[in-house]
Structure 1
């Protein structure tokens, strides 16, 4: 079924031109000669997009925009304005218009703007549908995206949130592991209990045991009174152990006992305290490699990873970038700002080593430094522009850093990604890489690549 577009314009000749061009592009088109008629047709048709002239007798485009947004906030509105009236169009975008086009405009500009608006609307509605399925928790609404990769994360959260099983979140830095942990807590029966987050890498090793499990008065120099640890503070709720892979080896047996017995003994104490907690941990390290190197206990890993959940990097869900850009602009109070087509294309090609956190930092910087309501390629940092343009000349697939990259590491990453894309089906992964299956098995053995534990 083709999207329906409603055109509202008092200029009959312009209406006919717009109608012809959009029908030629495959859209269903309805027209109205005034704001009043347009709103009546809007109620009857529920179109996916409204295109309205700004200057019309009676009800003008700003009034049309306001009424459409009151009736259907998700429906995008594109404003048509005369050349030289851009300030009026920017004001309309502050009031919720998706974009504007100035007269005279060409067919390509019209088609690009319409396609962009409809695509973003489709992603927004899918994103809302997925979140509604998760009961609309406030913490979950901060997770923005409607890609297939992120939908898998939504599905796991929905299934396991209400259990007390330990969850181990893996993924690169900046992919939103704490956000998922908070979503798991918010959807659980423990939602009214505390959520306590601990960054295991940020606390000095000699203080970590006391921070986690508490201490008694006189346990060490400076312990002037009893102090509860993070585990005691999380009682009846959820504790989130971020960067758990950094936990010192000598402290891991005590954490294992807490997970097994749900009891904790403060430093300097001799009496166990029983706990009622749910543990969610996260790491951006290769825990299995740490186990093979003797830096992480295998039995602790299995206690933490009852439910393993991998968060995809941003480069594996590039279709979410337009939604994220709109979300961060809105978050920082700049709903009227838009990214032009060329800038958006570059941002969708960039590898985003810092993931969503890097993207938000970029948006915040661009909003501070911008000189207009449109972000162009020239506004983007050289690092991003040159990386994308340079990699486009060198390769359509690989973005190699200028200071070089180990070939073996690159080959290992390619093999792992092929296996992940095919759900660890070795035959399908070998076909994806266009190599014999025995060659794939040799590479897996060479780089110690094993399927994730169930």
Structure 2
């Protein structure tokens, strides 16, 4: 029950409960109907992201008592109370205590639908702001580990589980997917956080330089070595050593690195002194080192030595539902950095966000958001009648989500509710289409000839 289009509906009058449930379902909401407040509370959990609609006058536990219990669980959860004329003073007091709205019987169906819709929008805003706060706390460097998809939740959970161990970790993922972020979080969430986090890109340095960078050297060890240099490995002692693009490490250095991992000691160039090191190694690769065809000349024994725990970061194209949140975060960050307002998102930008494969992953999305804020994307400017002016006060992720829902509804309407033609027009897979219908609370049947006059029948008379 994590969809803001969900509604908990409570009324002890079975006929009114049935009528109100049908009304809200026709409006595109997922309705969970309960004959008593106790039943609703038993099903309501801390993760509920929708709206509560309850009658006030009920036996055992009334609507006001229900509201008090809900408020204890989540003060920001919108509660709409349905009242008879004699209950209005009670409802007014509940509003003063923080209830979202009250509706008096009898009421037109539009009154109920509009109140629930506004409450759902408020709930969406609250949840998006919470998510952005969490994202900001999780942010690290240029590529925060942001995401609400199951894959990202599992990734964060795994990092928490292994962070405070000294096990070496192999991180795999495409370019720009956030491998250094993962390594940094493993360091920051561990007891090694007081030590140094030392990063080295193995593919950025020539073989003649990487040896000195890793192992250090003494004066006179080679031409130009005029003073002692502590290598990255020794500098990372008591902390974490991050070796990015380890598949690019020269074969000769791989042999030396294998000894470091096995013996936890290092011998700088120009000396026979063996120095012990206490470090955790996190290595990252863009290829599957377990596949001999991709591994190339990377040593198999070094791979198995590193492969104690492997963490795979999903590419952005496999977690499309995270794109609005990520884009919103990056756009807000860019707007703050460049001291500009976040522009309204256009249909062209929205289509690009949803249809682009993002081969550069999160890094590419971040740069796209910066260009969008700077107005350097030719399609990034707002177009007439695409975004309601009232939306300009909402956070960007909310606007992206809302426009996506509007675009799906518009395309469904244009195609008379036909799924095949709609998904072809939107350019998305069938499963993604149905996932989005569920997330936005869109009922496909609403676009296949539903009579709008059915929604005007008064409820509660």
The Cα offsets for residues 147-201 of structure 1, whole Å up to 9 and x where unpaired, read as 1011121121011101111000000011111111110001111110110110111
| Aligned-pair CA distance for 1:349 | 2.6
- Distance change in 2, residues 1:50/1:327 (3 Å): farther
Which residue in the other structure is 1:205 paired with?
A: 207
Structure 2 gap ranges (5+): 10-22, 32-50, 55-66, 81-97, 101-111, 383-391, 401-422, 431-461
How far off is 1:279 after superposition? 0.5
- Give the distance between the partners of 1:350 and 1:114, measured in 2 at CA: 33
Mapping of 1:131-146 within 5 angstroms?
Answer: 139=140, 142-146=144-148
Give 3-state SS (helix, strand or coil) of 1:309's partner: strand
Describe the superposition over 1:408-444 as per-residue Cα deviations: whole angstroms up to 9, x where unpaired.
xxxxxxxxxxxxxxxxxxxxxxxxxxxxxxxxxxxxx
Higher relative contact order (CA 8 A, sep 6+): 2
> Aligned ranges for residues 151-166 of structure 1 at < 5 Å?
151-166=153-168
CA RMSD of aligned residues (A): 4.5
Partner of 2:62: none
Match of 2:214, SS state, is helix
- Structure whose alpha-carbon radius of gyration is higher: 2
Distance 1:327 1:264 in 2: 42
Q: CA deviation at 1:325?
A: 1.7
Measured against aligned partners, the alpha-carbon deviations of 1:187-220 in whole angstroms (never above 9, x if no partner) come to 1111101101101111112111111100111111
Tell me the residue number matched to 2:182: 180
Determine if contact 2:132/2:329 at 8 Å carries over to the other structure.
no
Structure 2 CA distance for partners of 1:302 and 1:127, relative to 1, 3 Å: farther
Q: CA deviation at 1:344?
A: 3.2
User: Matches of 2:119 and 2:330 in 1, distance apart?
Assistant: 22
Structure 1 SS opposite 2:192:
coil
Aligned partners of 2:223, 2:79: CA distance in 1, in Å?
70
The equivalent of 1:301 in structure 2 is 303
Q: TM-score w.r.t. structure 2 length? A: 0.56
TM-score, length basis structure 1 = 0.57
**Deviation string, structure 1 residues 266-289 (Cα, Å, up to 9, x no partner):** 112211111011100101123234
Q: CA deviation at 1:323?
A: 1.0
Alpha-carbon distance change, 200 to 360 in structure 1, aligned in 2, over 3 angstroms: same
Q: Give the direction of change, closer, same or farther, for the CA distance of 1:260–1:335 in structure 2 (3 Å limit).
A: farther
State the alpha-carbon separation in 2 of the partners of residues 109 and 367 from structure 1. 33
Please point out which of 346, 350, 365 is paired with 2:356: 350
1:313 and 2:315 equivalent?
yes
Unaligned runs of 5+ in 1: 6-19, 31-39, 52-71, 78-106, 378-390, 399-454
Count of matched residue pairs:
310
- Contact in 2 for aligned 1:22/1:29 (Cα 8 Å): no
User: What CA distance in whole angstroms lies between the structure 2 residues aligned with 1:324 and 1:256?
Assistant: 38
